[in-house]
Structure 1
Amino acid sequence: MLNTYTNYQMIAKDMAKAIDRVEDEPTVKRDTEYYLANITKIKSIEDLMKDDRLFRYAMKAHGLADMTYAKAFMVKAMKEGIDDEDSFANKLTDKKYYEFVKTFDFVSFGATTTVRTRAQQGTVDMYLRQTLEENAGKQNEGVRLALYFERKAGGLTNFYQVLADPALSRVVRTALGLPDSFASADIDKQVKLFEEKIDIADFSDPEKLSKFLQRFTSLWELSNPSQGNATSQMNVLFAQPAEYGISTNLLFSIQSMRR
């Protein structure tokens, strides 16, 4: 079995080819064809909720597959939209909900929402990347973490955002050689230590990000040599709280984080 760094590099160096392989998988191909053929028929929030297949596809594309059961939760987020800073989606710590509502913003665009590129090919692209990362995680969760971090890195502006995401924070702790128990330390102290060790701007520099992820994958491999299936562990890292306000103490703390 390839080590974590080599496996990650093989995917990252030719991402387009890796995505093409995912797109050609029979199940993915069928689901994507169905999505593109039917999404423009969706004219309202209610329409989207009625088509489970479309809704599941859209949720997975946004990294919210574990929340497909919570339709009432998603309806509330979508009905309040994103224009009001006090809306439900804007208050949620996990910004994947905001991105979902932004994609399916029926409040702002009404029946034309699903004719936008973001709701069509944009969502398909996200679905393919999400599937690629999940497939990688079935063999080695370190590879999935590296790919996920690479995808999110450019949008990070402070370490409170990192701590709000268990997967991102796991990568940073591992790269810094910190024990998992460090996650229970005071939030501000964690941020201070991260800031002392890493310039957050480095994550927007491809060369520096590459070196960071090389360090992460190398240290990950030391603790998880030739790792096999780790799906259950990844479900814990990528799963989302059932509701806003029902989450870990970490997320409660980060809810008031500085912007």
Structure 2
Amino acid sequence: MSYQPIVPYSGYAGWGFLNRTMETQKAAFVASAEVQTAKEYFRERIGSITSAEDLVADRRLLDVALGAFGLDEDIGNRFFIRKVLEEGSLDSGSLGNKLSDKRYLAFTKAFGFGDYTTPRTVLSDFAEEIIGQYESRQFEVAVGNTDADMRLALALQKDLPELAAKETSATTKWYTIIGTTSLSRVFQVAFGLPPSVASLDVDRQVEIYAQKAEALFGSSDPAQFTSPEALEKLTRDFFLRSQLDASGSITSGDAALMLLKGSGSSGLSLLL
């Protein structure tokens, strides 16, 4: 992208800076020529797209469509993407439902090629819906080019509260967290879990995540992350754990002091 967000510090300090300057930085990013060109092309043409075949045949449209769901790297897998879109989301046996990465399910639901006789692409507000998501996700990508942890934290702020607010069981929410790459990474780091936890049976993973959440946050239910305070604690723990993992040079005392400085009067949520 032509505009690169500014993240002068790593870790929780950098996160604080990014939050303070978010509105200005995102506005500058969205106003960049590259983003504007991509948006205008999508806005002008998506209404005429009525099949998955048509969408994957137009690389510029597909780039925005995938980019809105953080699936940019799949731009070359057109047969796979077409299959996900054509099978839709209503059949429990569809590819989108079977895939562990739930971004694909959200992707096929949004376009509706496999679910409805008339896809959602023809709706008057569809273009703006996808463009709004594209702007947010591509800003995350641009930030991630400077600091990968910042990209994960940005995605967390959007995705976790939405998931936490859904009227589904705690177990179902954990399944979604585990199946969403960005969310699972944040929770693994914040909970001090090794990457190898992903190789365990998914039901065992749910047990581990729930137990950790209970110990660190006082509840095993992801619904608690509708609370800004709980979300902020999780974000803070993620950054601190990530720094600890990267350097191995921060003492427990230093870590506690860093958390205390960042948390104000709220209690510490990280077990050291």
Maintained 8 Å contact 1:90/1:98: yes
Distance 1:8 1:110, change over 3 A: farther
CA distance in 1, matches of 2:234, 2:50: 44
- TM norm structure 1: 0.76
1:172 to 2:216 alignment: no
Maintained 8 Å contact 2:66/2:72: yes
Maintained 8 Å contact 1:62/1:96: yes
Distance 1:2 1:90, change over 3 A: same
Q: How many residues align?
A: 225
CA distance in 1, matches of 2:198, 2:139: 28
Shift in Å, 1:112 = 5.8
Distance 1:79 1:183, change over 3 A: closer
1:219 to 2:226 alignment: no
Shift in Å, 1:74 = 2.0
Instruction: Find the counterpart in structure 2 of residue 232 from structure 1.
Output: none
Of residues 212, 217, 229 in structure 2, which corresponds to 1:207? 229
Shift in Å, 1:197 = 2.4
Distance 1:42 1:5, change over 3 A: same
Instruction: Find the counterpart in structure 2 of residue 79 from structure 1.
Output: 86
Instruction: Find the counterpart in structure 1 of residue 67 from structure 2.
Output: 60
State the SS of the aligned residue for 2:9. Answer: coil
Q: Which runs of 5+ in 1 are unaligned?
A: 226-259
Q: How large is the Cα RMSD of the aligned pairs?
A: 2.4
1:50 to 2:57 alignment: yes
Instruction: Find the counterpart in structure 2 of residue 195 from structure 1.
Output: 210
Instruction: Find the counterpart in structure 1 of residue 252 from structure 2.
Output: none
Shift in Å, 1:131 = 1.0
Maintained 8 Å contact 2:50/2:122: no
Maintained 8 Å contact 2:56/2:81: no
State the SS of the aligned residue for 1:170. Answer: helix
What amino acid is the match of 2:190? Answer: A
Of residues 137, 160, 163 in structure 1, which corresponds to 2:178? 163
Could you tell me the percent identity over the aligned residues? 30
Shift in Å, 1:175 = 1.2
State the SS of the aligned residue for 2:211. Answer: helix
Shift in Å, 1:108 = 4.5
Highest CA radius of gyration, 1 or 2?
A: 2
CA distance in 1, matches of 2:47, 2:23: 26
Relative contact order, CA 8 A, sep 6+: which one is greater?
1
Instruction: Find the counterpart in structure 1 of residue 154 from structure 2.
Output: 147
Instruction: Find the counterpart in structure 1 of residue 140 from structure 2.
Output: 133
State the SS of the aligned residue for 1:86. Answer: coil
State the SS of the aligned residue for 1:224. Answer: helix
What amino acid is the match of 1:178? Answer: L
Maintained 8 Å contact 1:159/1:191: yes
Maintained 8 Å contact 2:189/2:242: yes
Maintained 8 Å contact 1:18/1:132: no
Instruction: Find the counterpart in structure 2 of residue 103 from structure 1.
Output: 110
CA distance in 2, matches of 1:34, 1:102: 22
What amino acid is the match of 2:242? Answer: W
CA distance in 1, matches of 2:66, 2:39: 13
Distance 1:30 1:207, change over 3 A: same
Instruction: Find the counterpart in structure 2 of residue 5 from structure 1.
Output: 12
CA distance in 2, matches of 1:208, 1:118: 33
- TM norm structure 2: 0.73
What amino acid is the match of 2:208? Answer: L
Maintained 8 Å contact 2:48/2:122: no
Instruction: Find the counterpart in structure 1 of residue 36 from structure 2.
Output: 29
Distance 1:183 1:93, change over 3 A: closer
Q: Which runs of 5+ in 2 are unaligned?
A: 1-7, 165-169, 214-219, 248-272
